[in-house]
Structure 1
Amino acid sequence: MKFTGKKYISLVSIIMLLSVLLVACSSEGSSNTGKSSSSDGDKVTSEGVKENVILGTHPQGSAYNSTSAGIAKVLSTKSSIKASIKPYAGTNAFFPLVDDGQIDMGLSSAPDLVWGIKGEFGYKNAHKNIRTLVIGNYPPTNGLIVREDSGISKTADLKGKRIASGYAGNQVAQSLVELHLKSVGLTWDDVEAVPVASPTAGLEALRDGRVDAAMGSSPLTAAAIETDAAVGGLKVLNIADVSPEDFDNFPEEVAAEIAEGIPGTRPFVYQGGGFVEEPVIIFEYPVILNASTNMSDETAYEIVKTLFENYEELHPVFSWLKEWSDKSMFEEKPPAPYHPGAIKYFKEKGLWTEDAEKYNEELLQLVN
């Protein structure tokens, strides 16, 4: 049957009227769910917990992204919160958004938290609203890597070579490269710097032959493993060109420069895993799940409680998350002050101590 002219207009009018009535009925039906909306339009439960939260993370294919996806999955299935992730170039890109409440959380390295709060390096402003929720794992992090067929066997061989640099959204990656070069007496003046946007982009440049070396991200990162397969093998260069067997003699001055250059970072012997098949000397530092003072205490409490009580659900999702547990997610001396909602849970669990209180107060004085 065809509808033309006035009949067609009448039919459209009826459909539009029905649509309006259905929307109105739906709105009325939802008014008795026991949930409300906050002043800025965010829906919250009757307990004051925000229903939907966004977790800022690094680009797809990175270990941070995979870890964030696991956190979001557990929160979404084990709490009243529906969490989603949103990738950015790096912590430098999403930190300001967490700070002012445009997104709810971030997964960042400890060095990034220190720099971000102080407004140092790639951070234009001091983001003083950032607060720690839980401590994550201490992931193995490569320094510089090269292709297996490059003919480069040690860091000193990189003099005059093309090195991925800049890492616009990730100050840690840039600093790791600089410190790795410095460990053998090289600077950017000794190499050809090739700007890239992120560690993932650096791996792509290495795969495509546009650089000779790049920051290798985590040995367990999907992007690094894929690059290894694509080029027929990657080689990790030992920091300071010290062999793993000789790690006990690692230069103390180099270790001190690393700790000073990237807070919380240290060299260690990685025994292998991911695309790395034999022991190498690389970096490690903790990752931190953080929020800001814009997050309600109730929401922060719910997030911390859920992760503590369901940490085993994290383990199958991604290798980094296997190290997350109720024994490791709290430390007395975090890189940033704890969120009050997190402190409430720690007190209930008997984890909060006088030393933790004292150190937290010291951190608060530094950021205020």
Structure 2
Amino acid sequence: MYGRLKLAIVFCLLLMFGVPAAAQSPGAPTVITIGAGGKTGVYYAVSSAICRLVNRARKSKNVICRYKTGGSVANIKALRKKQIDVALAQADWQYHAYNGTDPKTFPNGPFKKMRALFSAHPEPYTVLIHPDGGIDNFTGLKGKRIDIGPIGSGQRGTSENLFKVFGWKPNDFKSIGGTPPGAQARQLCGKEIDAMIITLGHPAAAVMEAISSCNAQILSVSGSEVDKFIASSPFYSLAQIRQKIYRGSDDVVQSFGVRATVVTSTDISDEIAYHVVKSVFEGFERFRRLHPALNYLEPKSMLKDGLTAPLHNGALRYYKEKGWK
């Protein structure tokens, strides 16, 4: 009786907190932990969508999928420390982590054990301004109260790198906040900040909240400095925020962006990587319906767009079976 109770307690703890798949004992349920993003962002929805599909075979595969909040940079660091098994990350931070090209952010050198599973939705760099903030264009952000997202998020790192191209330093702004997207929207509409910056797929709950609550406006991000920024990297490209997806958004908004990517490491077995990838693509129509940002995905482009790290052997096995590789 005591033994059964003890086993039940251990199983419940696995469900609640998860143990990375690479660290689990034989015979125990394999808990796959995915590093996502803020609860109002698309990363959170994508992680949820992946887990829903993986968990459809939880009994036959003895696999349980869970997800936790994080952000691109934080997720990659957690993946490297084996605290999670799969990470969502912007393509630019995947590139820097794998190649070791941003030692300030990733001081432990190139993460050569990183492996790609697939890429997901495009993520335009998105600037929302309060209509009373006195900002007419992107350069008008200088001297204002802005929020660029939490420390460890890809969006914050992208903003910091873009600001350098404009020659801006932190003290060129009245304040620079670091809160999640949902809190950003509330601060913007409460006039605590003049602008919020996020990098995410659209439509997004945080953007909807800001527009519906205080008629926030999406600012175009373009010009010679932005062109220079795009040209300096292999992972940025011109992007657009489509018209009609938000109330009052009658025109296309020009910006730039990256791809969201789904990565893991060689610490994860080929079988687990294969199961995750197969679960997503065998249930692809269901996957695309789980969030509007996923509606326009095409399977074959997800094998290459935004990916720097090599494909995991388990993922590659599935793609070869489908004739995609």
- For the aligned pair, the TM-score class normalised by the smaller chain equals 0.7 to 0.9
Secondary structure of the equivalent of 1:53? strand
- Map of 1:70 onto structure 2: 49
- Map of 1:94 onto structure 2: 75
The answer on whether the counterparts of 1:163 and 1:212 sit within 8 Å (CA) in structure 2 is: yes
- Map of 1:228 onto structure 2: 211
* Structure 2 CA distance for aligned equivalents of residues 95 and 25 of structure 1: 32
- Map of 2:125 onto structure 1: 141
> Which of residues 195, 198, 206 in structure 2 aligns to 1:213?
195
Worse-superposed segment, 201-210 or 144-153 = 201-210
- Map of 1:114 onto structure 2: 95
* Structure 2 CA distance for aligned equivalents of residues 194 and 98 of structure 1: 28
Deviation at 1:204, TM superposition (A): 3.8
- Map of 1:349 onto structure 2: 322
- Map of 1:31 onto structure 2: none
| One-letter amino acid of the counterpart of residue 101, structure 1 | K
* Structure 1 CA distance for aligned equivalents of residues 33 and 296 of structure 2: 23
* Structure 1 CA distance for aligned equivalents of residues 33 and 282 of structure 2: 21
Q: Percent identity?
A: 24
Q: Does 1:309 align with 2:293?
A: no
| One-letter amino acid of the counterpart of residue 50, structure 2 | I
Number of residue pairs matched by the alignment: 305
- Map of 1:356 onto structure 2: none
| One-letter amino acid of the counterpart of residue 150, structure 2 | Y
Q: Deviations over 1:70-106 (max 9, x none)?
A: 1111111256332111112x12222122123221101
The answer on whether the counterparts of 2:269 and 2:314 sit within 8 Å (CA) in structure 1 is: yes
| One-letter amino acid of the counterpart of residue 270, structure 1 | I
The answer on whether the counterparts of 2:145 and 2:194 sit within 8 Å (CA) in structure 1 is: yes
Secondary structure of the equivalent of 1:137? strand
* Structure 2 CA distance for aligned equivalents of residues 201 and 24 of structure 1: 41
> Which of residues 25, 31, 36 in structure 2 aligns to 1:57?
36
The answer on whether the counterparts of 1:108 and 1:289 sit within 8 Å (CA) in structure 2 is: yes
Unmatched segments (≥5 aa) in structure 1: 1-18, 27-37, 243-250, 353-368
> Which of residues 216, 224, 230 in structure 2 aligns to 1:258?
230
> Which of residues 126, 135, 146 in structure 2 aligns to 1:163?
146
Worse-superposed segment, 334-343 or 74-83 = 74-83
1:339–1:150 CA distance, 2 compared to 1 (3 A): same
| One-letter amino acid of the counterpart of residue 131, structure 1 | R
| One-letter amino acid of the counterpart of residue 116, structure 1 | A
1:333–1:152 CA distance, 2 compared to 1 (3 A): closer
- Map of 1:130 onto structure 2: 114
Deviation at 1:216, TM superposition (A): 3.7
Q: Which has the larger radius of gyration?
A: 1
Secondary structure of the equivalent of 1:83? strand
* Structure 2 CA distance for aligned equivalents of residues 333 and 238 of structure 1: 23
Q: Aligned-residue CA RMSD in angstroms?
A: 3.1
| One-letter amino acid of the counterpart of residue 81, structure 2 | D
* Structure 2 CA distance for aligned equivalents of residues 172 and 129 of structure 1: 24
- Map of 1:329 onto structure 2: 302
- Map of 2:11 onto structure 1: none
The answer on whether the counterparts of 1:99 and 1:128 sit within 8 Å (CA) in structure 2 is: no
The answer on whether the counterparts of 1:113 and 1:336 sit within 8 Å (CA) in structure 2 is: yes
| One-letter amino acid of the counterpart of residue 77, structure 1 | R
Deviation at 1:187, TM superposition (A): 5.2
- Map of 1:269 onto structure 2: 240
The answer on whether the counterparts of 1:105 and 1:291 sit within 8 Å (CA) in structure 2 is: yes
Unmatched segments (≥5 aa) in structure 2: 9-20
Deviation at 1:167, TM superposition (A): 3.3
1:141–1:74 CA distance, 2 compared to 1 (3 A): farther
* Structure 2 CA distance for aligned equivalents of residues 128 and 25 of structure 1: 37
Q: Deviations over 1:311-367 (max 9, x none)?
A: 111122111222334333212882111111112222222222xxxxxxxxxxxxxxx
Higher relative contact order (CA 8 A, sep 6+): 2
